[in-house]
């Protein structure tokens, strides 16, 4: 389970790596004579603030989901807002693609952005609170560990029951020996009775 300082550090490092790569890409613009490459770099330059917001909201969302109930009650709300920012970013990518692809089919597609915002926000909110209820207010790692322990205990119980049944069904060697001795004794007794039995005299 990643700690809260670990989440913050990983998000900061990820955003800084993105800025470094973007700076290198900007430096290479004069060397790479490509309109598409320049457009992509400018697109990310204009999207820095949005990507920063997504990083911050994503960090807050990850932190909230690490808490136990009732401190994780805001996690579905942060997840819903994060989904809206991600939709905005994806929509900007769609607009950028339309600038370079001359297609009447793509340009004629009208995306109902407000309706998508509303539906996705409500859906993520509902699924988030449903997740909290299913997990019993536990974080994901604690809930997973709890179910793994339950599964191990059930498996151990089943193996114990099978082992007991196996021991019950398997005869011990001492019992097997006694059964053989008893069988031979009965066989010998029958043979002795046959030979010792005297024929009765017929009455005249």
Amino acid 3: pLDDT: 80
Amino acid 137: pLDDT: 79
Q: How many domains does the chain have?
A: 2
Amino acid 204: pLDDT: 42
User: Looking at 81, 111, 138, which one is the last position of a domain?
Assistant: 138
Amino acid 6: pLDDT: 86
Q: Whole-angstrom Cα distance, residue 78 to residue 83?
A: 9
pTM > 0.75: yes or no: no
Q: Mean pLDDT in each 10-residue stretch from start to end of the chain (204 residues)?
A: 82 93 91 86 92 94 87 90 93 84 62 85 92 82 70 71 66 54 61 58 46
- Based on the fold, state whether residues 46 and 119 are members of the same structural domain: yes
Residue 71 sits in which domain range? 4-138
- Based on the fold, state whether residues 85 and 166 are members of the same structural domain: no
- Based on the fold, state whether residues 10 and 93 are members of the same structural domain: yes
- Based on the fold, state whether residues 51 and 151 are members of the same structural domain: no
Q: How many CA atoms lie within 13 A of 127 on its CB side?
A: 10
**1, containing H or E segment:** none
Q: What angle do CA 75, 82, 19 make, to 5 degrees?
A: 125
- Based on the fold, state whether residues 8 and 87 are members of the same structural domain: yes
User: Looking at 83, 111, 138, which one is the last position of a domain?
Assistant: 138
């Amino acid at each position: 389970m990643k700690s809260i300082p670990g989440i913050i550090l990983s998000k900061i490092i990820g955003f800084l790596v993105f800025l470094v790569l973007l700076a290198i890409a900007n430096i290479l613009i004069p060397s790479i004579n490509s309109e598409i490459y320049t457009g992509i770099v400018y697109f990310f330059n204009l999207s820095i603030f949005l990507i920063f917001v997504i990083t911050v909201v994503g960090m807050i969302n990850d932190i909230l989901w690490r808490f136990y109930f009732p401190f994780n009650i805001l996690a579905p709300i942060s997840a819903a807002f994060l989904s809206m920012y991600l939709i905005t970013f994806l929509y900007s990518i769609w607009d950028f693609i339309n600038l370079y692809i001359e297609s009447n089919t793509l340009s004629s597609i009208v995306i109902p952005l407000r309706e998508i915002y509303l539906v996705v926000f409500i859906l993520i909110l509902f699924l988030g609170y449903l997740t909290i209820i299913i997990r019993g207010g536990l974080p994901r790692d604690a809930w997973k560990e709890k179910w793994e322990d339950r599964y191990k205990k059930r498996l151990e119980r089943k193996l114990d029951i099978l082992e007991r049944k196996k021991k019950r069904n398997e005869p011990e060697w001492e019992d097997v020996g006694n059964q053989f001795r008893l069988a031979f004794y009965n066989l010998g007794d029958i043979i002795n009775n046959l030979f010792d039995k005297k024929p009765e005299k017929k009455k005249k």
